[in-house]
Protein backbone atom coordinates (compact mmCIF):
# COMPACT_ATOMS: atom_id res chain seq x y z
CA UNK A 1 0.00 0.00 0.00
CA UNK A 2 1.30 3.42 -0.98
CA UNK A 3 2.16 5.79 1.83
CA UNK A 4 -0.13 8.84 1.95
CA UNK A 5 1.48 12.03 0.68
CA UNK A 6 1.95 15.03 2.89
CA UNK A 7 -0.34 17.90 2.00
CA UNK A 8 1.33 21.30 2.21
CA UNK A 9 -0.85 24.41 2.18
CA UNK A 10 1.00 27.37 0.67
CA UNK A 11 0.13 31.02 0.99
CA UNK A 12 0.92 33.91 -1.34
CA UNK A 13 4.23 34.71 0.36
CA UNK A 14 5.56 31.26 -0.55
CA UNK A 15 4.32 31.41 -4.14
CA UNK A 16 5.83 34.88 -4.68
CA UNK A 17 9.21 33.41 -3.73
CA UNK A 18 8.90 31.12 -6.78
CA UNK A 19 9.14 34.23 -8.98
CA UNK A 20 11.23 36.72 -6.96
CA UNK A 21 14.50 36.05 -5.11
CA UNK A 22 13.82 36.72 -1.43
CA UNK A 23 14.82 35.29 1.90
CA UNK A 24 13.78 31.60 2.03
CA UNK A 25 13.38 31.35 -1.75
CA UNK A 26 15.43 28.14 -1.68
CA UNK A 27 13.00 26.48 0.72
CA UNK A 28 10.03 27.62 -1.36
CA UNK A 29 11.61 26.22 -4.52
CA UNK A 30 12.29 22.91 -2.78
CA UNK A 31 8.52 22.54 -2.37
CA UNK A 32 8.19 22.57 -6.16
CA UNK A 33 10.85 19.90 -6.44
CA UNK A 34 9.11 17.71 -3.87
CA UNK A 35 5.81 18.24 -5.68
CA UNK A 36 7.35 17.25 -9.01
CA UNK A 37 8.78 14.10 -7.37
CA UNK A 38 5.25 13.42 -6.10
CA UNK A 39 6.35 13.22 -2.50
CA UNK A 40 3.97 16.02 -1.44
CA UNK A 41 0.74 17.62 -2.62
CA UNK A 42 0.41 21.40 -2.68
CA UNK A 43 -2.83 23.16 -1.85
CA UNK A 44 -3.95 26.77 -1.61
CA UNK A 45 -7.06 28.89 -1.39
CA UNK A 46 -9.14 29.90 -4.41
CA UNK A 47 -7.95 33.47 -3.93
CA UNK A 48 -4.28 32.52 -4.39
CA UNK A 49 -3.86 33.77 -8.00
CA UNK A 50 -5.26 37.18 -7.05
CA UNK A 51 -3.13 37.45 -3.90
CA UNK A 52 0.04 36.53 -5.79
CA UNK A 53 -0.61 38.90 -8.66
CA UNK A 54 -1.33 41.71 -6.21
CA UNK A 55 1.91 41.01 -4.33
CA UNK A 56 3.94 40.88 -7.56
CA UNK A 57 2.32 44.09 -8.80
CA UNK A 58 3.85 46.01 -5.91
CA UNK A 59 7.18 44.13 -5.81
CA UNK A 60 9.99 46.29 -7.21
CA UNK A 61 12.05 43.20 -8.14
CA UNK A 62 9.31 41.63 -10.32
CA UNK A 63 9.92 42.07 -14.03
CA UNK A 64 13.34 43.61 -13.56
CA UNK A 65 15.97 42.03 -15.88
CA UNK A 66 18.71 40.07 -14.09
- Mean pLDDT, 10 residues at a time, the chain of 66 residues: 81 94 94 93 95 90 66
Query: What is the tally of helices (H) and strands (E) in the chain?
Result: 3, 2
pLDDT at 1: 57
pLDDT at 44: 96
Cα(26)–Cα(31) distance, integer angstroms = 9
pTM equals: 0.79
pLDDT at 61: 76
Amino acid sequence: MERPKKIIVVDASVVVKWFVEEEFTGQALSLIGNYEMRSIDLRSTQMMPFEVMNALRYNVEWGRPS
